Structure 1
């Protein structure tokens, strides 16, 4: 798995494409191993090959890592929503912006309605906080300078330094929890998706009446993503 991720990260540094030899050198892998992994990554959609040059594929830039085993991202998220009995969301941080690409209602209740632009309110929702936590401090400050925190509910943190301190305390790979900070009657959790160089995250939301199961559902979401990554690792090393 680590070897495949190193290749994908190396390819992400060259969005217009680079050669297998350059990728092997950057990822510090034997050329024979590199070719083997590249064939699998191209087949699964994580990389694309054009005239001998490799660049990030659709699965790396915009799909969940479950894509190899599921027909499409929306279908996989629908399955996840059903299994967790929660609304599910997938978002990316691209070119300094939060981009929510998918949202699936839960089987028992609808997802959050975007009444304040998600792209401008990352300080207030779990998926935005999870994305910002994957950035360095300078990038976090830049985001908050461009989108100053504003109060959306009485629980929303509005002091930039307080938000930055919160982000600094988020442990790598751990779920980010949010309690009615974007929408008063909704609680949320998000986990990072750690494939490729583009920060991304999967989140769930529950009504406040079910807040008692937010922590356990967030841990199950984390476990599901870890199993998915393990499955991906077996795929690329066969």
Structure 2
């Protein structure tokens, strides 16, 4: 008979995280004595844990108790790459679960369209964008949505550095036609097999201070308009929540 072993857990870390959870969910500063009572720790142990967390910046001391410190992840600025990735990953998982489609997040950074993260859906294989997106953003919904969010001058600059080419028979490769399409793009972008045959992608914008990004999914190329409109509606709801979170993080406001 094979004996199953439980994973090794470090109890001191569990206790510290429980203390942070209590402070994070409290509506007022929490005295250490209250933490000891709620966690059933000895008062000495509670003080030692709190002192360590304050020293590391995850908690801070106020006259009436403990509050979250500047290093608590929810209080870090959005410029912190780990915070951006964590918030983005949560949104991508949510989109994949709701729509059953692979979800993508891209961002305009230093003049280029970059893929930030992808979460795969089991029944919906991804479109391989990691390499081609830099030069072929014009053929993807997520790239078009970002380009549509830019100023006319930024769009012209981008396309002068990345002339559009025809990846498939459906790709818009005429520069003037593409600029006209981008000028009138509102709210969402769709590419119907422009980047890869057999795939339709839809994307919506994600806007926050200092952030121009797009949230997208890929679907089988034969999806009808009603399916795409419903997908866009759900994507816009998810993108709106992510935009609010990123905006709150930018200004140092913690949202649960």
Same fold (TM over 0.5): yes
The offset of 1:209, in angstroms, is 3.1
Return 5+ residue gaps in structure 2 as ranges.
1-68
Q: CA RMSD in A?
A: 2.8
TM-score w.r.t. structure 2 length?
A: 0.63
Match of 1:224 among 238, 246, 256: 238
TM-score w.r.t. structure 1 length?
A: 0.67
Q: 2:98 — aligned with what?
A: 83
Q: Deviations over 1:91-122 (max 9, x none)?
A: 11111111101112223121102386111111
Q: Is 1:183–2:216 an aligned residue pair? A: no
Match of 2:167 among 142, 152, 158: 152
Q: Is 1:57–2:87 an aligned residue pair? A: no
Q: 1:195 — aligned with what?
A: 208
Q: 1:94 to 1:41 in 2, by over 3 A?
A: farther
Q: 2:128 — aligned with what?
A: 113
Q: Is 1:44–2:74 an aligned residue pair? A: yes
Query: Quick check: 2:206–2:242 contact (8 Å CA) kept in 1?
Result: no
Return 5+ residue gaps in structure 1 as ranges.
1-38, 49-55, 68-72
Alignment of 1:167-182 (within 5 A): 167-171=182-186, 174-182=187-195
**Paired positions, count:** 183
Structure number with the bigger relative contact order (C-alpha 8 A, sep ≥ 6) is: 1
Q: 1:108 to 1:211 in 2, by over 3 A?
A: farther
Query: Quick check: 1:188–1:205 contact (8 Å CA) kept in 2?
Result: yes
Q: 1:76 to 1:237 in 2, by over 3 A?
A: closer
- Structure 2 CA distance for aligned equivalents of residues 41 and 209 of structure 1: 47
Partner SS for 2:117 = strand
- Structure 2 CA distance for aligned equivalents of residues 41 and 201 of structure 1: 28
Q: 1:40 to 1:222 in 2, by over 3 A?
A: farther
Larger-Rg structure: 2
